[in-house]
Amino acid sequence: MGEVPGADAPFGLLAELTHRCPLRCGYCSNPVELAGRADELDTAGWRSVFDQARAMGVWQLHLSGGEPLARRDFAELVGHAAGLGCYVNLVTSGLGLTADRLAGVDHVQLSVQDAEAAGADLIAGVRAHGHKLKAAEVVRDAGLPLTVNVVLHRLNLDNVGAIIALAERMGADRLELANTQYYGWALRNRAALLPTREQVARAGEVVAAARARSAMEIVYVVADYHEAHPKPCMHGWGARQLTVAPNGDVLPCPAAGVIEGLGVENVKDRALSDIWHSSAAFTAFRGFDWMQEPCRSCVRREVDFGGCRCQAFQLTGDASATDPVCSLSPHRGLVDLVLAGGTAPVEHRAVVR
């Protein structure tokens, strides 16, 4: 038994079936330029992506978006993936989730916005909280494992104890508490979402205490702006997982579309396995040769891979720079400046049809 190595073949595919979504979360990491229904791969297009992915060695298929249940052909796509032997993980807001839609699904990751309806619906931009509690029941009744995912930010971080209690009441096997990662709409709303240092410290203590007593597995994704070292993004670029965006663009990570000149290719033009193995986008930051100092000669480079390429690009304009949240980065001052800045009101994600 062992941890999966930085293998030649990918283990997971994140299929962003659509950007359409009934919610309008101010923290949404989807790109600011959202794809509409007309841009989406059709049923045959997705079936072919799943076929190619399975043939490459992909097992985990994360059906996400947007709201994957918004696809009219959802049942057919799940059926196809399950037939290939994929482990189907539905990543959903829970809106539109009924028992019949779970046929072929192996695991559900359900997002919840806050401990109580008022705050949750405020950040989601629609009344959704009540539906999520019902969706959790549907998942439990189907006998499937349930992960609850909650994105944390200034407006809900103080409620983390109540959020943990809610996830327990919902019957979650796992709770993912993910501090907001600043991509897409979240980057646009950063001033509103960034928590204070005190909030982060208090929440960390509450989570540690809950972990010690809860039967539920609690995964905590740290607030990287407040850390001294970056997150190990994607376990290395193009190492384990790939993302296919609603329009068929193939990306090393869901945020990578922001990096200008990356050379992103589309499944309509080239085989998935060619794109994975040899496209400019996937080879750009694979391994360690692309690194600059201080990463190049750093002992932590095999731990965090120099952090996030998208964050490096977004904050410094250079995608091969050290992730600026790193205390060793010459650009760390940019992050400290943001932390010292004032707050702002949240703007909701745009609606796409």
Partner 1 sequence: MTPLSAAPRLRRGVKTAYDETRACHVVLFPEGVLVLNETAAAVVGLCDGRTSVEGIARRLAEEFDGVRAADVAELVDRLVARRVVAVDG
Binding site for partner 1 (CB under 8 A): 1-2, 4, 7, 9, 11-12, 56-57, 59-60, 85, 87, 89, 106-107, 109, 143-145, 147, 173-174, 217
Q: Which residue reads 């994929």 in tokens?
A: 86
The phi and psi torsions of 17 (rounded to 5 degrees) equal -65, -30
Shorter beta-carbon distance to partner 1: residue 34 or 97: 97
Q: Does 131 bind ligand SF4 (CB under 6 A)?
A: no
How many residues in the chain? Answer: 353
Q: Does 181 bind ligand SAM (CB under 6 A)?
A: yes
Could you give the CA distance from residue 295 to residue 321 in angstroms, rounded to a whole number? 9
Q: Which residues touch 24 (CB under 8 Å, ≥6 apart)? A: 124, 125, 126, 348, 349, 350, 351
Q: Which of the ranges 27-35, 158-166, 284-292, 297-305 carries the binding residues for ligand SAM, by CB under 6 A?
A: 27-35
Q: Which residues touch 9 (CB under 8 Å, ≥6 apart)? A: 56, 57, 58
Please give the DSSP secondary-structure letter assigned to residue 266. Answer: E
328: number of CA atoms within 13 Å, CB side?
Answer: 17
Shorter beta-carbon distance to ligand SF4: residue 257 or 276: 257
> Token pair of 145, please?
């494992």
* Residue 307 binding: pick among ligand SAM, ligand SF4, partner 1, none (C-beta 5-8 Å cut-off by kind): ligand SF4
* Residue 92 binding: pick among ligand SAM, partner 1, ligand SF4, none (C-beta 5-8 Å cut-off by kind): ligand SAM
* Residue 178 binding: pick among ligand SAM, partner 1, ligand SF4, none (C-beta 5-8 Å cut-off by kind): ligand SAM
Q: Which residues touch 278 (CB under 8 Å, ≥6 apart)? A: none
Shorter beta-carbon distance to partner 1: residue 30 or 147: 147
Could you give the CA distance from residue 103 to residue 289 in angstroms, rounded to a whole number? 45
What single-letter amino acid sits at 25?
C
Shorter beta-carbon distance to ligand SF4: residue 22 or 45: 22
Going by their DSSP bridges, the two strands 87-92 and 60-65 should be labelled as parallel
- What minimum distance in Å lies between the beta carbon of 313 and ligand SAM? 16
| Interacting residues with ligand SAM (CB under 6 A) | 21, 27-30, 64-67, 91-93, 109, 111, 149, 151, 178, 180-181, 183, 186
| Interacting residues with ligand SF4 (CB under 6 A) | 21, 23-25, 28, 30, 65-67, 93, 111, 229-230, 294-295, 298, 300-301, 304, 306-307, 322-323, 326, 328, 349
